[in-house]
Amino acid sequence: MYNDIEEVLFTREEIDQKVQDLGKQISEDYGKNNEIIMVGVLKGACVFMADLIRQIDMPVCIDFMAVSSYGYSTESSGIVRILKDLDLEIEGKHVLIVEDIIDTGLTLKYLTDNLRSRNVKSLKICTLLDKPERRKCDLDIDYTGFKIPDKFVVGYGIDYAEKYRNLPYIAVVKG
């Protein structure tokens, strides 16, 4: 479909297994008697979150936020803007942020600080992909699918110029 894919990092089957494992761990950690609000960070996390919620065996509510720190650049400006805030009330609730990929962590740090200020009962982070080499701040990531090298990846919801999100695998784009 795309001629500029350098290599496939994770196949559909590997992703499916990892999502099942994460869902099982989340269910065990929270327990069946609790309810969580899963907050997907748009747009990239939508595919991961859709698959993940079906693997969680407990009451789940979902909501989404859209944030931006990049503008029209490929590097974060460090200034975060909330483009779409939550519709649900999260005060006193267990909240799980669902991310597609974490690199510098600056945007997610802002987001976690913002959500904690809303007096949540608990706040955890789940990411499919983690690029620890790029981290510029301290973050406690509770659930990580895969750690990846500092390469530009696409697929399974992750885009480049709004393309590639529909790939069922995660791949490196030729540089």
Distance, in Å, from the CA atom of 159 to the CA atom of 17, rounded to the nearest integer, reads 22
Mode of pairing for the β-strands spanning 81-84 and 60-68:
antiparallel
Mode of pairing for the β-strands spanning 122-130 and 143-147:
parallel
Q: Which residue of the set 16, 21, 63, 103 is catalytic?
A: 103
57 is catalytic: no
Domain boundaries, the chain: 11-151
3-state secondary structure of 2: coil
- For the segment 97-110, what is each residue's pLDDT rounded down to a tens digit? 999 999 999 889 99
- For the segment 32-72, what is each residue's pLDDT rounded down to a tens digit? 889 999 999 999 999 999 999 999 999 999 999 998 865 54
Is 11-151 a CATH 3.40.50.2020 domain?
yes
- The radius of gyration of the chain's CA atoms, rounded to the nearest angstrom, is 16
